[in-house]
Chains A and B, each alone.
Chain A
Amino acid sequence: MSKTFMGWPAFPKAAETATADGQLRANVRRATHTIRTKRAALVDERPDWQDLRDTAAALKDDVLAHLDTYLEQIEEKVTAAGGTVHWAGDAEEANRIVTRLVQDTGETEIVKVKSMLTEEIGLDGALAAAGISARETDLAAAIVQLGDDLPSHVVVPALHRNRSEIRDVFVREMGKHGRPAPEGLSDDPEELAEAARLHMREKFLTSRVAVSGANFMVAETGTLCIVESEGNGRMCLTLADTLISVVGIEKVIPTWQDLEVYLQLLARSATGERMAPYTSTWTGVTDGDGPRAFHLVLVDNGRTRALADPVGRQALRCIRCGACMNICPVYERTGGQAYGSVYPGPIGAILNPLLKGADDPQTASLPYASSLCGACNEVCPVKIRFTDVLLELRHDIAEGDAKVKHPAERVALKAVAGAMGHGALWNAAVKAAGTAGRLVPKNAQLPGPLRGWTDSRALPDIPEESFRSWWKRTEGGTK
């Protein structure tokens, strides 16, 4: 069985459960602080960091503005290089296409490279329903899969688990899916990684079909790119006969040379490394090297919905580095599962409502899972202005098109209705409405009517008490 976030409670409720779990909080805090520190040191050694971010954001904006022609270009190049391109409007169609492609090979056990999109569309469950077992090969993704758990981070999906929890999962579950964990396995990370190496190796050597996502697709050349640490990606991309890459339509970058921008930003932002140990690029199929069949499944699943939102579309620039969740004071206290989505943290708070529409209480609660402190704005390598999008989404939920209204926010916004005709004044008022009485840190100053709250660079220390009371209040609000 593969678990999903289906029926997950709204953020305030899920967060209350999560923060009551002391072990979870300790695990998340240790992990996020470790990556934060490493990231900060590596960002500091690049005097041109802001320039790289500016380029990365502008390139993605160009891609989004001309996404139709870029996708047609990719289709043409991949096809010319011996690949086959499929288009999927939604999750169900994507799952159907992949299931059929696997069935055509006759295989019933396949290997997977960690991909948030395949989590988003519930591919493992769809394959299981067709009698196909898809085994995760990334260590963290495998920990989640073996433990029948849910991911809590886009880079390190098992970030909420500590070593002894991981040991227990390995000892209990590995034998059910192949080579069991070695006798007397301890919780030493080296031993745990070795257990994973042995368990996976036999799968890599015998699996004939692999499913992956991609970090980037280069329109100019039809090249796909995967960045990873362990080598499980290389194994899947190289040893399988058939490779099926399931990729969101927003993953395009214009030219081969443009990879230099994203490869320099991604690992620094994601894991605090200059480059991840392995980056693989491939274009279609290559005679005598790697898979003989390559399928690219291009998936929309709400991306065109997000693209139609003039403020929200910038969320599609995201390169899934996880920096926004590592820096987020709310994520640090709740962990990722509270967001009820494979995309947690600040990006989850904006991307989920944009992809799905804030039409159910769970999704509608996500734009409120933020203190609006703006720390995510500062770390995002593609310069997403989270606070702008959060405020716009809150406004939609309170006043606009969203089907579920959020009474608390609606009341707050009514109070500033008079200022709404004037751009700057309106912005400041909405921002104040979004923060007042909620997560205002003890020493922080409330923004004046015309001063942008989001200009603040510092990450405020948020007192736990007011955070708890905020949940209480907004839980009432979403019901």
Chain B
Amino acid sequence: MSSREAVLRRIRQATADLPKDPVSVPRSYLRHAPAVVPGDRSAAVALLVERLTEYGAEVRRSAEADLPAAVAGALAAAGSAVVPAGLPDAWLARWSGVVRRDAPPLTHAELDATDAVLTTCAAAVAESGTLVLDGGPGQGRRAPTLLPDLHVCVVRGAQVHSAMPEAIGRLAPARPLTWISGPSATADIEMIRVRGVHGPRRLTVLLVP
């Protein structure tokens, strides 16, 4: 017998005493953030800003038309930035650093030698201060959002959900997803929170209403 068959057989023997019907699952938890009235987008956005700031992420609000200036400001200290396919070129018009396109794909060493990455996102969750990347247009593959030390992410108000249950059903599990809740951190040494271990140490969010 293969190990597969042996494991499955042991499972069936072990659960023989249990009813075959699905276990009934209560679902009375909230589908929105406790402090936010469902559908109140501006309260959700305010909560997102509060959480991101708590994490030490920098949040700047910018009108759509002012994005080129906001991007230039966010990337001011960076000499080079990776830009994924699908990100509007116009956003980079006011920034004078080196733009690296990820096509053909940059090597790990090239990405490691790049200061920043500029992306959009697929969704944001206010309650936990989370940005979700799904590799769609303006986000690109995962490695470029990981190796540069500064991640600048453009988030639109309409993408902000108050809590996880509102967001998760809109995401496509077939794509690789990265959920980012503040910059890389560790508390492994005496439970003291240290920002920045392996992922980007700085996260700047440009919030477009």
Chain A residues near B (Cβ < 8 Å): 27, 30-31, 34-35, 45-48, 51-52, 54-55, 58-59, 61-62, 64-68, 71-72, 81, 87-89, 93, 137-140, 143, 156, 158, 162-163, 166, 189-190, 192-193, 196-197, 200-201, 204-205, 218, 221, 223, 229-232, 234-235, 237-239, 249, 256-257, 259-261, 263-264, 267, 271, 273-283, 286, 288-290, 298, 300, 304-305, 307-308, 310, 313
**Can you spell out 18 A-B residue pairs with CB atoms less than 8 angstroms apart?**
A30-B190, A55-B29, A58-B25, A64-B15, A71-B11, A93-B3, A163-B189, A166-B189, A189-B189, A196-B197, A235-B199, A256-B169, A257-B169, A264-B163, A274-B127, A277-B199, A283-B173, A298-B7
Q: Closest CB-CB distance, B75 to chain A, in whole Å?
A: 21
Cβ of B36 within 8 Å of any chain A Cβ, yes or no, is: no
A65-B19, A232-B198 known; A288-B105 Cβ under 8 A: yes
Flag if B189 contacts A193 (CB, 8 Å). Answer: yes
Query: Interface code B149-171, partner A: CB below 8 Å = 1, 0 otherwise?
Result: 00000000000000111001100
Given known contacts A271-B187, A300-B7, what 5 new A-B pairs fall within 8 Å (CB)? A68-B15, A193-B194, A230-B199, A231-B199, A310-B17
Q: Which one of B37-45, B61-69, B176-184 is at the A interface?
A: B176-184
- Per the bound structure, the CA–CA distance linking A140 and B150 in Å amounts to 24
Known: A48-B28, A275-B130. A201 touches B198 (CB 8 A): yes
Residues of A close to B125: CB separation below 8 A: 275
Given contacts A51-B26, A51-B29, A231-B199, contact A201 B112 (CB under 8 A): yes
| Contact between chains at A231 and B184 (CB < 8 Å) | yes
Report, nearest first, the 7 A-B pairs whose CB atoms are least far apart. A231-B199, A231-B198, A308-B14, A62-B23, A304-B10, A279-B179, A230-B197
B106 within 8 A of A: no
When chains A and B are docked, how far (Å) is the Cα of A229 from the Cα of B15? 36
B185: Cβ under 8 A from any A Cβ: yes
Is there contact, CB below 8 Å, between A58 and B23? Answer: yes
Question: Cβ of B6: which chain A residues have Cβ within 8 Å of it?
Answer: 89
Q: Which residue of chain B has the shortest Cβ distance to A187 in the bound complex?
A: B189
The tally of residues in B whose CB lies under 8 Å from a CB in A reads: 73
- B188: interface (CB < 8 Å): yes
Interface residues of B in 36-82 (CB under 8 A from A): 51, 55
Number of A-B contacts (CB under 8 A): 243
A87-B2, A283-B173, A308-B13 known; A274+B129 contact, CB < 8 A: yes
Q: Kindly list chain A residues whose C-beta atoms are within 8 Å of the C-beta of B19.
A: 65
**Structural contact, A230 and B184, CB atoms closer than 8 A:** yes
Q: What is the CB-to-nearest-CB distance from A445 to chain B, in angstroms, rounded to a whole number?
A: 33
Q: Are B34 and A46 in contact (CB under 8 A)?
A: yes
A319 to B188, CA, bound (A): 19
Question: Does B18 interact with chain A (Cβ within 8 Å)?
Answer: yes
Q: Are A47 and B191 in contact (CB-based, < 8 A)?
A: no
- B90 touches A (CB below 8 Å): no
Interchain nearest-CB distance for B1 vs A (Å):
10
A107 to B193 alpha-carbon distance, docked (Å):
35
Check A88–B3 contact: CB distance below 8 A: yes
Partner of A277, one of B164, B174, B180, B192: B180
Q: How far is the CA of A310 from the CA of B13 in the complex (A)?
A: 12
Give the residues in chain A near B188, CB-CB below 8 Å. Answer: 138-140, 143, 156, 158, 230
Smallest CB separation, B73 vs chain A (Å): 24
Closest to B12 in A: A68
With A31-B191, A68-B12 as contacts: A281 and B173 at CB distance below 8 Å:
yes
B135 at the interface (CB under 8 A from A): yes
* Cα distance, A425 to B23, chains bound together (Å): 29
B residues less than 8 Å from A30 (CB atoms): 190-191
Q: A61-B23, A275-B181 are in contact. Are A200 and B191 (CB under 8 A)?
A: no
- Pick the contact of A238: B146, B179, B186 (CB < 8 A): B146
Contact status A275-B129, CB under 8 Å: yes
CB of A193 within 8 A of CB of B197, answer: yes
Shortest Cβ distance from residue B166 to the other chain A in the assembled complex, whole angstroms: 9
A246 to B125: give the CA distance in the assembly, Å: 30
Pick the contact of B185: A221, A230, A249, A260 (CB < 8 A): A230
CB pair B187–A156 under 8 Å, yes or no, is: yes
**B180 contacts A278, C-beta separation under 8 Å:** yes
Q: Determine how close the nearest CB of chain A comes to the CB of B149; give it in whole angstroms.
A: 10
Q: Across the interface, which residues of A come within 8 angstroms of B199, CB to CB?
A: 230-231, 234-235, 277-278
Closest Cβ of chain A: how far from B122's Cβ, in Å? 12
A55 to B18, CA, bound (A): 19
A47's contact among B13, B34, B143, by CB below 8 Å, is which?
B34
B108, A230: Cβ atoms closer than 8 Å: no
Indicate whether B141 reaches chain A with its CB closer than 8 angstroms. yes
CA distance A158 to B142 in the complex (A): 29
Complex CA distance for A298 and B34, rounded to whole angstroms:
38
For A308, the chain B residues whose CB sits under 8 A away are 10, 13-14
Q: Smallest distance from the beta carbon of B6 to chain A beta carbons, Å?
A: 6
Q: B26 to chain A: which residues have CB within 8 Å?
A: 51, 54-55, 58
Residues A62 and B181 in contact in the complex (CB < 8 Å), given A234-B142, A235-B146, A290-B142 = no
